Amino acid sequence: MSYRVAVLAGDGIGPEVMTQARRVLQAVEQKFNLVIDYQEYDVGGIAIDNHGTPLPNSTLRGCEQSDAILFGSVGGPKWENLPPEQQPERGALLPLRGHFELFCNLRPATLHPGLEALSPLRADISEKGFDILVVRELTGGIYFGKPKGREGSGDQEFAYDTMRYSRSEIERIARNAFIAAQSRRQKVTSVDKANVLACSVLWREVVEQVAAEFSDVELEHIYIDNATMQLLKRPNEFDVMLCSNLFGDIISDECAMLTGSMGLLPSASTNSKGFGLYEPAGGSAPDIAGKGVANPVAQILSAAMMLRYSLNQNAAAQCIEEAVAKALSNGYLTGELISPGSEHTAKTTKQMGDIIVQYI
Amino acid sequence: MSYRVAVLAGDGIGPEVMTQARRVLQAVEQKFNLVIDYQEYDVGGIAIDNHGTPLPNSTLRGCEQSDAILFGSVGGPKWENLPPEQQPERGALLPLRGHFELFCNLRPATLHPGLEALSPLRADISEKGFDILVVRELTGGIYFGKPKGREGSGDQEFAYDTMRYSRSEIERIARNAFIAAQSRRQKVTSVDKANVLACSVLWREVVEQVAAEFSDVELEHIYIDNATMQLLKRPNEFDVMLCSNLFGDIISDECAMLTGSMGLLPSASTNSKGFGLYEPAGGSAPDIAGKGVANPVAQILSAAMMLRYSLNQNAAAQCIEEAVAKALSNGYLTGELISPGSEHTAKTTKQMGDIIVQYI
Ligand SMILES: CC(C)[C@H](C(=O)O)[C@@H](O)C(=O)O
Ligand SMILES: CC(C)[C@H](C(=O)O)[C@@H](O)C(=O)O
């Protein structure tokens, strides 16, 4: 099998963790007889520096000619004072999501066995572990709804955004959530604010209709405000959390932080044709960039998600995931994962790559 | 001094905690020579049962003739399956907020010394304590923005909500946040999503203009997604959090849950004339209603906020707050605040009222 992948390493730690992901991919390509052609393109701050825009046309065209995008991370202090729509993160990610209609965002947040102490949660809560998959709608809602703008002047000046959801937009993301739940713990928690938002009332209605097709999956509804609370008390009771764009932004970040190990979390954003963008949940971490200490696991697991969802190479994906799990459970950890007083010594970005390649 | 207060005890534990708040108020009235005339009105589920609507006209008229509303809590399983806009919580609170233009919502979330173990946060985080005041805009944004509704049919059916903020709406809530910060730890963290929302871009601009009038207060901006994360890691670094309506709903609930002692948290919702609605942060807790075990402290502290913000009786307010603090630090606690293995025995709703009255 032969594929084409657009590599957008970006800024900060992006390039160095991408190097390790590429090595791991190379190892599974050999093992599973895959041929992947990688093309590198600028994105984010480096693209602003080289082309004057965070998402150059050449990058977009390159992505169009690929089966998937493997994305690093973008942003840094150098570009922080640009107007919002020109900043690396917003200016690259939102147009990519919109252009390729990447409506389905999967953000797993798992507390890895042995790493419970990293969670900011109380020991008796974190020791129960949790394994949550946030399924976030990514191309609708208040992110893309029109009209959006500003009018009037003086005291009377006002700004407005439109949250908007169609039945079909809700249906397709809901269906993905239920399918995901079927191969997990058969539970979907749909997050909304149906006591206030018209969009949420429709959301709830459509989600219930979709649920009727999945009699093996339990559905519960929760208000966004209550969801942020219950996640703190009983994270282990959630399985799949189905969210609109804005609520998914919030809930997925809360879940990520609850693991205490953001450097381990991948994400996938796919469209209805299986094309997708795969990126670590964490940011570009400019403070540690270039030091060789960043955790490459999130990038490596993002590559695994790419193999699974866009390249249909489930066995190769699983092989990477097992190698990562083995490395972690054998105590191969980068510095930020090591609690004070632990017997482990910090591994470098490259050492993490080495061991995972070895376990493939 | 003579005042008139509308008492809306509502459902669930509302009436029983209200009884204790009234006793405490009576004690400070005597001590500070105040005359408060209380009139009781139905609200929420009980109002649905008695009048067919969660906010009867008679209740609204009674509130109009008062200096403040002391609100208990509303809702319960009996009314859960009504359409959203008829439900006790939404159907009573939103119209009251709108009618009286209660734009300024203050929600303090404090980890009481000695009660750190109740927080769902890891011991080394909670032991540092925290003391956050969420200042939430309460009559604008996506809650009240027009148009809001539903159109089309079949797959093409869609729903929409409008987030809308005017310069003057942002200005007045921001000013309140900075004033509050002046008598606290001189820091305002403004929560927005300026990388996506036009409303947030205006929000940030106006907040910076207001900040220029308060050179003694530090201002920082944070995205809502990052805010939910940072609160888990370093809650002690926040002082005043300034939020729009929707973000304040989410952040204030997260903060409340981080204390682990929702039964202690009051809230105030005031307008520009000093009129206000005062209510506990927790809900109607139907599961423990009528058992005499509910914590009356949130209701009692709500009464204190009422004395401070609507009746201008700061000394009386402080007297209640000190009595509550003394009761808690002397180990007077209701059951839900007592950790397993503690030497304390659970006090009833009435015993909590007794001791606080005694300390007045
Ligand atoms: C950068 C920003 C526009 C983006 C979002 O809000 O979706 C980010 O927070 C994310 O979650 O991927
Ligand atoms: C009941 C609901 C409409 C309300 C809100 O969203 O404001 C509640 O959650 C609150 O925070 O007071």
pTM: 0.97
| pLDDT tens by residue, B251-267 | 999 999 999 999 999 99
Read off φ and ψ for residue B286, nearest 5 degrees: -55, -25
Active site residue A239: no
Ligand 1 neighbour A250 (Cβ under 6 A): no
List the 270-289 stretch of A: residues with Cβ below 8 A of B.
none
Taking the C-alpha atoms of residue A198 and residue A210, their distance in angstroms, rounded to an integer, is: 19
Structure tokens at A94: 């939102």
Contact A161 B199 (CB under 8 A): yes
Task: Give the closest residue to A89 by CA, choosing from A75, A78, A101, A76.
Answer: A75
Atom 8 of ligand 1, nearest CA residue: A249
Contact B202 A143 (CB under 8 A): no
Looking at the CA of A71, name the nearest ligand. 1
Residue A119, classed as helix, strand or coil, is: coil
A358 Cβ neighbours under 8 A, 6+ residues apart: none
Counting one residue from chain A and one from chain B, the pairs whose CB atoms sit within 8 A come to: 191
Taking the C-alpha atoms of residue B332 and residue B346, their distance in angstroms, rounded to an integer, is: 8
Contact B142 A163 (CB under 8 A): yes
Least confident of B107-116, B170-179, B300-309, B334-343: B334-343
Catalytic residue among A42, A67, A239, A249: A249
Catalytic residue among B131, B253, B326, B350: B253
Q: Is B89 flagged in the annotation as binding?
A: yes
Sign of CA dihedral A178, A181, A185, A188: negative
Q: To the nearest whole angstrom, how far is the Cα of B208 from the nearest Cα of chain A?
A: 15
| pLDDT tens by residue, B13-64 | 999 999 999 999 999 999 999 999 999 999 999 999 999 999 999 999 999 9
**Mean per-residue pLDDT of chain B:** 97
B158 and chain A in contact, CB less than 8 A: yes
Q: Percent of chain B beyond pLDDT 90?
A: 96
Which residue numbers in chain A have pLDDT < 50? none
- Ligand 1 centre to CA of A249 (Å) is 6
A57 Cβ neighbours under 8 A, 6+ residues apart: none
Structure tokens at A121: 């949660």
Structure tokens at A290: 């270039």
Q: At residue A173, what is the residue type?
A: I
- Tokens 């205006």 map to which residue? B202
Q: Is B78 flagged in the annotation as binding?
A: yes
**Whole-number pLDDT of residue B1:** 76
Q: Is B77 flagged in the annotation as binding?
A: yes
Please confirm whether the linkage preceding B147 is cis (ω < 30° from 0). yes
Structure tokens at B116: 């750190």
A26 Cβ neighbours under 8 A, 6+ residues apart: none
Instruction: Judge whether residue B182 has pLDDT over 90.
Output: yes
Contact B195 A158 (CB under 8 A): no
Q: Quick count: other Cβ atoms within 10 Å of Cβ B175?
A: 16
Per-residue pLDDT, averaged over B224-246, amounts to 98
Sign of CA dihedral A278, A282, A287, A289: negative
**Whole-number pLDDT of residue B85:** 86
Contact B138, B249 (CB under 8 A): no
Which residue of B196, B232, B254 is in closest CB contact with A120? B232
Taking the C-alpha atoms of residue A115 and residue A119, their distance in angstroms, rounded to an integer, is: 8
**Whole-number pLDDT of residue B234:** 98
**Whole-number pLDDT of residue B340:** 81
Active site residue B249: yes
Secondary structure of chain B as H, E, C letters: CEEEEEEEEECCCHHHHHHHHHHHHHHHHHHHCCEEEEEECCCCHHHHHHHCCCCCHHHHHHHHCCCEEEEEECCCHHHCCCCHHHCHHHHHHHHHHHHCCCCEEEEEEECCCCCHHHCCECHHHHCCCCEEEEEEECCCHHHCCCCCEEECCHHHCEEEEEEEEEHHHHHHHHHHHHHHHHCCCCEEEEEECCCCCHHHHHHHHHHHHHHCCCCCCEEEEEEHHHHHHHHHHCHHHCCEEEECHHHHHHHHHHHHHHHCCHHHCEEEEECCCCCEEEEECCCCCCCCCCCCCCCCHHHHHHHHHHHHHCCCCHHHHHHHHHHHHHHHHCCCCEHHHCCCCCCCCCECHHHHHHHHHHHC
Task: Give the closest residue to B134 by CA, choosing from A200, A122, A196, A225.
Answer: A225
Catalytic residue among A3, A41, A143, A278: A143
**Whole-number pLDDT of residue A84:** 86
Contact A161 B256 (CB under 8 A): no
Instruction: Judge whether residue B80 has pLDDT over 80.
Output: yes
Q: To the nearest whole angstrom, how far is the Cα of B66 from the nearest Cα of chain A?
A: 28
Taking the C-alpha atoms of residue B5 and residue B207, their distance in angstroms, rounded to an integer, is: 34
CA angle B228, B229, B230 (to 5 degrees): 100
**Whole-number pLDDT of residue A228:** 98
Atom 10 of ligand 1, nearest CA residue: A249
- Ligand 2 centre to CA of B197 (Å) is 22
Per-residue pLDDT, averaged over B323-330, amounts to 96
Report chain A residues whose CB lies below 8 A from the CB of B202. 150, 157-159
Taking the C-alpha atoms of residue B324 and residue B255, their distance in angstroms, rounded to an integer, is: 20
- Tokens 């991370």 map to which residue? A73
Looking at the CA of B89, name the nearest ligand. 2
